């Protein structure tokens, strides 16, 4: 039995790097937004009001998220979720690949191919197995 455990840092490495990029870009956006706000207020001889800055930056941040981040999030994340839960499009490819591999096993090892396929079916019972015994 494999009792190998992975740390949360290693297991979710891509998510941590993505979160890091996200935080760095968000902090940078707000920091440089502050400098731009200060310059604009000074150029117009207006007082620096923190609440005005916060409203402006929230508006800009949400506008950026709406136009870029949410669009990309849905395109990538939504597709990944649909593939994970098994949309009809993802099942078609899996079924075809499984059927081809099963047929290869039968051709490569005619005496044991069917037994190997049945063993795999039993080992992975409950998973998607519609096309296991399809013949082309």
Residue of 103, 111, 96, 110 lying closest to 135 (CA atoms): 103
- Model confidence over 110-125: pLDDT tens digits? 898 899 989 988 888 7
Domain boundaries, the chain: 9-85, 89-123
pLDDT at 59: 95
Cα–Cα distance measured from residue 87 to residue 89, given in angstroms and rounded to the nearest whole number: 5
- Model confidence over 63-113: pLDDT tens digits? 988 888 778 878 888 888 877 776 665 566 677 888 888 889 898 988 988
Cβ within 8 Å of residue 114, ≥6 positions away: 106
Note the residue count of the chain: 136
Residue of 45, 112, 3, 28 lying closest to 120 (CA atoms): 112
Instruction: Inform me whether the pLDDT recorded for 52 exceeds 90.
Output: yes
Distances (CA, A) of 16 to 5, 11, 12, 103: 18, 10, 6, 41
Tokens of 60: 């800009």
User: How does residue 37 score in pLDDT terms, banded at 50, 70 and 90?
Assistant: very high
**What own/partner pairs with CB < 8 Å and gap ≥ 24 does 53-60 have?**
57/29, 57/30, 57/33, 60/29, 60/33
């Amino acid at each position: 039995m494999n009792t190998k455990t992975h740390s949360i840092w290693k297991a979710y490495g891509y998510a941590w790097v993505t979160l890091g990029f996200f935080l760095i870009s968000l902090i940078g956006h707000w920091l440089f937004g502050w400098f731009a706000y200060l310059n604009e207020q000074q150029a117009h001889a207006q007082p620096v009001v923190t609440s005005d800055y916060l409203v402006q930056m929230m508006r800009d941040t949400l506008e950026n998220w709406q136009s870029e981040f949410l669009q990309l999030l849905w395109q990538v994340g939504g597709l990944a979720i649909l593939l994970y839960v098994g949309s009809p499009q993802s099942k078609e490819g899996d079924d075809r690949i499984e059927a081809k591999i099963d047929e290869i096993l039968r051709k490569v090892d005619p005496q044991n191919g069917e037994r190997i396929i049945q063993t795999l079916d039993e080992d992975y019972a409950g998973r998607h197995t519609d096309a296991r015994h399809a013949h082309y």
